[in-house]
A and B are shown apart, each in its own frame.
Chain A
């Protein structure tokens, strides 16, 4: 069963096709990595999947439900770590977690606050005063507190120091292992994707230029030659398209 399916998904902003005819399938219980340079369309694709953006064309199915805009009932079943700051700056972290707890039916307050503590998060600081690293940590606790079936993360490790990045990846690995939930993670850091993903899609200028199991994408890029790293494969695909 697929947790996510899109068909010819397209989103246009003015003259730009931010996502261009993207068709993909994410099997339930797997980790799907979205790899691309900044501006490749990863964030737009994720916002289409969560329903925060409406598609211009094409279809989306998430956890068996059609999505073409906001679906609050579906948000109960997914967690989303955005790249932009959207949480109210005047709240403190602990207020924000409890507010989320009041909104979500299946909220596990102990888990969320435990995660926040483990991540060494200043629960009583105001959100507007949080560093990028702390803001991401708060979002992680918010995204996992209701034990969602699907977690979408938009560049969660960007702007984190190596320690923070290692911690965050560790928590993700635990989450994947514990419940077999489906994870979609975007990154421009190839190593993150190589470590975590079962399947990877490489995006460039809104299009998916390669998609498949990580080892398959690597061996196809190698084209019969010796093995290549995912990073080398990434550049091979990008260059093939540009030449």
Chain B
């Protein structure tokens, strides 16, 4: 698992943890039923208040991404990957739409945008399959 806290960007620290754990799940770095570090351990690793980590875990639990097993710790839930992936796809779709709005706004034509899109997707498609 890979989490980095940025105190300069204005996003509450607990949300940064929530988002990055979801990202780790969506990217397969955290698998279903895999254990998460304890609240105390993650607080020490990230040098942040343990209450903040506890808040992030509570939020992830509410969203069904993780669950507590009595006396054993916190684990990634079975449906977490699907939930996280769907959320990431929604975010990606929103970003694509934003980029499209930006492109039209800059004066690009439908043909130019279509041409650019085909070039980009050909390139990414190659990278994905290689």
Contacts and interface: CB of A to CB of B under 8 A. Distances in A.
A16 B97 CA distance: 58
Interface in A201-236: 214-215, 218, 222, 226-232
A177 B43 contact: yes
Interface string A8-50: 0000000000000000000000110000000000000000000
B12 A229 contact: no
A30 to B, nearest CB: 7
B40 A195 contact: no
Main secondary structure of the interface of A (DSSP, over half): helix
B65 interface: no
Contacts of A166: 47
A170 B49 contact: no
B9 interface: yes
Contacts of A194: 7, 13
24 contacts: A169-B47, A170-B47, A173-B44, A173-B48, A173-B49, A173-B50, A176-B49, A176-B50, A176-B51, A177-B39, A177-B43, A178-B40, A191-B7, A191-B8, A194-B13, A195-B7, A195-B47, A195-B49, A198-B51, A214-B12, A227-B10, A227-B11, A229-B8, A231-B8
A197 interface: yes
Interface in B85-122: none
A194 B40 CA distance: 18
Report, as a range, how many residues of chain A touch the other chain.
20 to 34
Given A194-B7, A198-B51, A177 B13 contact: no
A146 to B, nearest CB: 22
A174 interface: yes
Interface in B43-60: 43-44, 47-52
Nearest to B40: A177
Contacts of A78: none
Given A174-B44, A218-B12, A229-B7, 13 more contacts: A31-B49, A31-B51, A170-B47, A173-B50, A176-B50, A177-B43, A195-B47, A195-B48, A196-B48, A198-B52, A214-B12, A218-B10, A227-B11
Nearest to A229: B10
Contacts of B39: 177
A212 B97 CA distance: 37
Interface of B: 5, 7-13, 39-40, 43-44, 47-52
A177 B52 CA distance: 11
Nearest to A167: B47
Contacts of A190: 7
B7 A198 contact: no
B10 A226 contact: yes
Sort A-B residue pairs by CB-CB distance and give the 8 closest, nearest first: A227-B10, A177-B50, A177-B40, A194-B7, A229-B10, A215-B12, A191-B7, A195-B48
Given A30-B51, A194-B13, A196-B49, A177 B44 contact: yes
Nearest to A195: B48
